[in-house]
Structure 1
Amino acid sequence: MKFFQSFLNRGDGPEIRRVRHELVRRSLEVRAVERFTPHMIRITLGGPELAGFTSPSPDDHIKIFVPGLDGSPTRRDYTPRRYDPQTGMLILDFVNHHGGPAAAWARAARPGDRLEIGGPRGSQIIAGPIDHWLLIGDETALPAVGRRVEELPAGTPVTTLVAVPGVEDEQAFATATHHVAHWVFRSMEQADDAAGILAILKNLEIPDHTFVWVGAEARVAKAVRQYLLDERRIPPQWIKASGYWAKGQADASVRDVGDVR
């Protein structure tokens, strides 16, 4: 049940509506495991405790609770890739990388296993006079990017620019939007380097009334935001940039890189 809403007005620009949800912890059953791409594992979850689950924004985050690498309980943030209340199925995509407890859990997951989740605690719903969307990210943001492309109204112009390790990591989205995809290839060890994304971004047209959403490693997200502000003169209210993770730091994220000094 939603219990709090607030509105962030941006004048004639977009508006971010913040919605708070009742915080519920759920125990779910693994229904299917798919090696979706070489660096992505898709887990389908279900069970009666999904009743009442809500996730109105494509970049929502839930908490998942898994064993840490030392066996102690730990938690991580994940974006619900898709939720179908009709079938009672929740899909989560896990980046398959070494050294992370969530990825280790996903690699070992089998149908019948259990996963506890919490949330989402809240949502940020972006609305307003938006004529075009530009979504920029890396593999960690693909669940949010893919979900937004698929959930935008038919005919909406949307451009995606996503960095992944290789061509086999590209994803196709089932969408009725006017979607143009750009992919940057770099190793996962170079995921904190914004050069590849910036090189393509410099040649992209950004029409007026384009909302730019960024989700990537924190230094990349900050560099992209700074370029958009300084070089492309995009007003800050038309940009939402988040550091989904920070290289060299476990369980680190920056919700708004504009607050980082």
Structure 2
Amino acid sequence: MRSPADLLFLSGTVEEIEAVTHRMRRLRVTGDRLRTIPWLPGQHVRVNVTPPRDWLRRPGDARRSYSVWGLDRDRGSLDLGVLDHGDGPGAAWSRTARPGQSISLSRPEGRLTLRESAYHLFVGDETAAVAFAAMLRALPTRIPAYGVLVTDRPGGEVPLPADRQLPWVYRGDADPADGRTLLQAVRALDLPGEPGSGYLAGEARTCQAVRDHLVRDRGWSRRQIVVKPFWAPGRRGLD
């Protein structure tokens, strides 16, 4: 008989860990129940990053969200993108994760998924790139994609589909929460005259600033924009 935790969470094992950039790692998780779960490109899972004894005592530290790079139901494997940043419980867990380690995680969830649209706009930092890569792979080739991503320096670019590359800009030594570099790059984008569907993900205030630009300066409706704040300095649960 399954325990209450088994009904709420999926169980898996870290099979392998691969460095993708100097700060991003791909974690492959395997588990029998991963063969049957639904997933839409762009969705994330919530990983339990603290011991069960702490889930009720420190609920704000219990889980952290990680974007799904891909799901292979035949293998029963799920690839997660994990960025090493900050000092929160998620960062602490990711730095100690090792092959063979058991983990528990939620089913894929989230509204950062593709919509029907004449074209698509993807804007975010490196934390958004894993979800965007999955969405770009699923996008029909006939549908145009625009966008821009920001990271700290060359070599920090998370791989995107070869036929769906987006430009990267670099903030250098600036605070990762300083969204000016990305906002300036979005302002310079040559987009079609009519709005499409926009996906903004990454640092919370930067996402808000880009959305404001699209609405105020380019005539987009808020309904045409999906915003997914992955992190924010000092905000519990988004560290």
TM class, shorter-length = 0.7 to 0.9
**Among 127, 134, 143, which residue is 2:130 paired with?**
143
Query: What CA RMSD, in Å, does the superposition of the two structures yield over aligned residues?
Result: 2.3
Confirm or deny that 1:45 pairs with 2:33.
no
Q: Are the aligned partners of 1:61 and 1:77 in contact in 2 as well (CA < 8 Å)?
A: yes
State the match for 1:258 in structure 2: none
Q: Give the letter for the 1:158 counterpart.
A: A
Unaligned runs of 5+ in 2: 1-6, 56-61
Higher relative contact order, structure no. (Cα contacts within 8 Å, ≥ 6 residues apart):
2
Post-superposition CA distance 1:89-145 (Å, at most 9, x none): 1000111114022222222222111111012356565433x1211100112111111
TM-superposed CA distance for 1:60, in Å, is 1.6
State the match for 1:84 in structure 2: 72
Give SS of 1:160's match.
strand
Choose 24-33 or 114-123, whichever is displaced more: 114-123
Q: Give the letter for the 1:31 counterpart.
A: E
Post-superposition CA distance 1:39-92 (Å, at most 9, x none): 101100102132321112x23222100127xx9452112221110112211000
Change in Cα spacing, 1:174 to 1:59, as seen in structure 2 (3 Å) is closer
Q: Write out the 4+ residue segments of structure 1 that deviate beyond 6 Å after TM superposition.
A: none
**Among 197, 200, 209, which residue is 1:223 paired with?**
209
Confirm or deny that 1:63 pairs with 2:46.
yes
Aligned residues: 225
Give SS of 1:83's match.
strand
Choose 36-45 or 241-250, whichever is displaced more: 241-250
Give SS of 1:166's match.
coil
Q: Percent identity?
A: 28
TM-superposed CA distance for 1:160, in Å, is 2.9
Structure with the higher strand share, 1 or 2: 1
TM-score normalised to the size of structure 1?
A: 0.78
**Among 166, 169, 179, which residue is 1:181 paired with?**
166
Change in Cα spacing, 1:219 to 1:98, as seen in structure 2 (3 Å) is closer
**Among 117, 122, 145, which residue is 1:158 paired with?**
145
Q: Are the aligned partners of 1:245 and 1:252 in contact in 2 as well (CA < 8 Å)?
A: yes
TM-score normalised to the size of structure 2?
A: 0.85
State the match for 1:14 in structure 2: none
Q: Are the aligned partners of 2:123 and 2:149 in contact in 1 as well (CA < 8 Å)?
A: yes
TM-superposed CA distance for 1:244, in Å, is 1.7
Post-superposition CA distance 1:199-230 (Å, at most 9, x none): 11121112124211101211101111111111
For residues 162 and 151 of structure 1, the distance between their equivalents in structure 2, rounded to whole angstroms, comes to 19
TM-superposed CA distance for 1:172, in Å, is 2.7
User: Mapping of 1:238-257 within 5 angstroms?
Assistant: 238-252=224-238
Change in Cα spacing, 1:108 to 1:187, as seen in structure 2 (3 Å) is farther
User: Mapping of 1:205-220 within 5 angstroms?
Assistant: 205-207=190-192, 208-220=194-206
